[in-house]
Amino acid sequence: MSLTKYRDPVTGEWKPVAMGVGATFTPSVSEDGTLSWSNDRDLPNPAPVVIKGTDGTDGDDGVSCTHSWNGTVLSVTSASGTSSADLKGSKGDKGDAYTLNDTDKNTIAAAVKASLPTESWTFELEDGSTVTKAVYIG
The pLDDT > 70 percentage for the chain reads 89
First to last CA, the chain: 103
Residue 3 pLDDT exceeds 70: no
Domain that holds residue 19: 5-50
Q: Is residue 39 part of a domain?
A: yes
Q: Is residue 13 part of a domain?
A: yes
Q: Is residue 41 part of a domain?
A: yes
Give the pLDDT confidence of 75-122 residue by residue, as tens digits: 999 888 899 999 988 888 888 888 889 999 999 988 888 888 877 777
Domain count, the chain: 1
pTM of the model: 0.30
Q: Is residue 33 part of a domain?
A: yes
Q: Is residue 96 part of a domain?
A: no
pLDDT attached to residue 29:
93
Q: Is residue 25 part of a domain?
A: yes
